[in-house]
Amino acid sequence: MINSFQYGIDTLSIRTAIAIANGQVKGILGEQAIEKISRSASAVASIVAEGRTVYGVNTGFGILANTPISEEDTKTLQYKILQSHSVGVGDPIAPEIAKLMLITKVHALAQGFSGVQLSTLERLCWHIDNDIIPIVPEKGSVGASGDLAPLSHLCLPLIGLGEVYENGIRKPAAEVLASYDMQPVQLGPKEGLALINGTQFILAHAVKAVQRFQNCLDAADIIGAMSLEALTGTKAPFEDALHQLRPFEGNLLVAQRLRKILSDSAIMQSHVDCGRVQDPYSLRCMPQVHGASRNAWYHLKQLTETELNSVTDNPIVLDADHTISGGNFHGQPLALPLDYNCFAAAELGNISDRRCYLLLEGKWGLPMLLMNNVGLNSGFMIPQYTTAALVTENKTLCFPASADSIPTSLGQEDHVSMGSISGRKLNRVLDNLEFILAIELMSACQAIEFRRPLKSSPILEFAHDHVREYVEFASEDRIFSKDIEKITAIIRDFSFVNQVNTFANNAGIDLNENYQGYIC
């Protein structure tokens, strides 16, 4: 392990959460956290022993909050809540997102305001450390009262129920626990409620979306610059003096990145006196469009990292004499930014599709459809059909889930965020965006070769050559879906952006200079 992270004590960032999920950082329960956890559990034990009424400790849940539960039934209540609330449907979420749910749940509970036992948190840590990942259905949360259904499924293995992935194989949790000679945990009062009351399903999707969207934003700048080069566009609209007159930080960053990416290009130098006055918006306005999406992304990043270090269950146990029934479980603070990041990601795909179209028109010295002898060959005509379809699909995904609310729990929970849908939806938009960017990159690599023997900038020539390690120049038609899959793979696994960044850094070029906050 590179280093360790103390749950409940250290500040959890998006980068660290993903590093723990990937096994690069070890999450631990240190002495400070153990003291806080034990103190909180003791407070709940005192409440039960003294017979004081506290929601979820010795009452029913939701609309049943006024139904008292006897002391002897307080533990049974916690098992029943995990079972009754396990109503998720649909396909399982990705194991990485389920693991992020475990990590963020441990960090929230370890802050010592939830009344859970140390043994329960240690079992959750065991699941993380051993990659025994619970099966969590993707649908069923309304994003308030906590992500009740998905968190119930996440925590069923603690009591020997539900299913898990072990070495990628789906198995009954009881069978896996038995193979390790382990018994189900013995839940105490309030623990079941603390485990399922929280925003960790929304949060895990937000963490993954922030990471993926940053990668797409970085890729879009590189790919858009290559398209501009292939279309003999100008870099004049990216001058810093212009953007200082309208200094949105995302715009300034994108303009800087484009200037550095295009620096020292022979292609750019070859047409400085061509007489073309202005480029189409999809080339000229990249700082404004990509930059606006970066600004939306940055806000989501900030709010996600606030949520990563928050306590989101209910009730909150400050001490044995002070508990608060509040609404920290409500998903609205993330639902709204997740929704408008759907628009931001969709627009990145929209402008990318427009550049794909420009590359096909046969203008400015490029062959129509990016291939000689078209007629017999369709060239790159049909890949743009795919970008058009994906762009429209993303538009249909842009309806904000958080604009809707359906009352639940017989009206007790009369406003909900639907943020779980917002989080899933953003990741679906990003799935499509990665395909769109891959098709633009495939087309731009094809187009730039018609500018030979002139070379582009060192960064773009490296990017082009890197793609050519996977996909060759197309002199005639072939099954382009295979090419799209290969290029999408290097965008989706972050290797395309990482390789370009490494090349730039080795050349002494920091594409994000002075904007390190725009990196997660």
pLDDT at 1 over 60: no
The bridge status of strand 132-134 relative to strand 163-166 is antiparallel
Which tokens go with 487?
């290029």
**Active site members:** 55
pLDDT, tens digit, 9 for 90 and up, residues 14-46: 999 999 999 999 999 999 999 999 999 999 999
Of 196, 63, 142, nearest in space to 417 by CA: 142
Helices (H), 132-190: 148-155, 173-179
Place of tokens 């992270």: 5
Q: What is the 3-state secondary structure (H, E, C) of 412-480?
A: CECCCCCHHHHHHHHHHHHHHHHHHHHHHHHHHHHHHHHHCCCCCCHHHHHHHHHHHCCCCCCCCCCCH
Task: Please state, in angstroms and rounded to a whole number, the distance separating the CA atoms of residues 368 and 380.
Answer: 9
Task: Please state, in angstroms and rounded to a whole number, the distance separating the CA atoms of residues 169 and 171.
Answer: 6
Compute how many other C-beta atoms are within 10 angstroms of the C-beta atom of residue 180: 11
> What is the largest distance, in Å, between two alpha-carbon atoms of the chain?
87
| Helices and strands, number each (H, E), in the chain | 20, 9
Which tokens go with 402?
């958080």
pLDDT band (50, 70, 90) for residue 343: very high
pLDDT band (50, 70, 90) for residue 376: very high
Of 322, 333, 482, 348, nearest in space to 402 by CA: 333
pLDDT for the residue numbered 496: 98
Task: Please state, in angstroms and rounded to a whole number, the distance separating the CA atoms of residues 233 and 278.
Answer: 8
Task: Please state, in angstroms and rounded to a whole number, the distance separating the CA atoms of residues 222 and 268.
Answer: 15
Average pLDDT, whole number, for the chain?
95
pLDDT for the residue numbered 411: 82
pLDDT for the residue numbered 311: 98
**Residues 369, 255, 258, CA angle at the centre, nearest 5°?**
50
pLDDT for the residue numbered 443: 98
Contact between 359 and 447 under an 8 Å Cβ cutoff? The reply is yes
H or E segment and range at residue 166: strand 163-166
Instruction: Concatenate the DSSP letters of all residues of 83-133 into one string.
Output: HHT---EEEEPPHHHHHHHHHHHHHHHTTS-S---HHHHHHHHHHHHTTEE
Q: What's the average model confidence in pLDDT over 3-11?
A: 97
Which tokens go with 325?
């029934």
pLDDT, tens digit, 9 for 90 and up, residues 39-86: 999 999 998 888 887 777 777 676 676 778 776 777 788 889 899 999
Percent of the chain with pLDDT over 70: 98
Which tokens go with 183?
């018994």
Of 22, 194, 178, nearest in space to 110 by CA: 194
For 98, list phi and psi in degrees, rounded to 5: -60, -40
pLDDT at 416 over 70: yes
pLDDT, tens digit, 9 for 90 and up, residues 80-138: 989 999 999 999 999 999 999 999 999 999 999 999 999 999 999 999 999 999 999 99
Contact between 199 and 144 under an 8 Å Cβ cutoff? The reply is no
pLDDT band (50, 70, 90) for residue 2: low
Contact between 402 and 136 under an 8 Å Cβ cutoff? The reply is no
pLDDT, tens digit, 9 for 90 and up, residues 180-225: 999 999 998 889 999 999 999 999 999 999 999 999 999 999 999 9
- Identify whether 337 is preceded by a cis peptide bond (ω within 30 of 0): no
Percent of the chain with pLDDT over 90: 88
pLDDT at 308 over 90: yes
Any idea how long the chain is? 520
pLDDT for the residue numbered 154: 98
pLDDT, tens digit, 9 for 90 and up, residues 429-465: 999 999 999 999 999 999 999 999 999 999 999 999 9
Amino acid occupying residue 131: D
> Sign of dihedral through CA atoms 187, 193, 197, 201?
positive
pLDDT for the residue numbered 76: 83
pLDDT, tens digit, 9 for 90 and up, residues 144-177: 988 999 999 999 999 999 999 999 999 999 999 9
Compute how many other C-beta atoms are within 10 angstroms of the C-beta atom of residue 400: 17
Task: Please state, in angstroms and rounded to a whole number, the distance separating the CA atoms of residues 518 and 301.
Answer: 9
CA distances from 129 to 91, 207, 282 (A): 24, 19, 46
CA distances from 444 to 18, 311, 497 (A): 32, 47, 16
- Considering the entire predicted model, what is its pTM? 0.97
pLDDT for the residue numbered 406: 92
Domains identified in the chain and CATH numbers: 3-198 (1.10.275.10), 206-311+327-407+418-518 (1.20.200.10)
Of 74-78, 323-327, 369-373, the range with the lowest mean pLDDT is 74-78
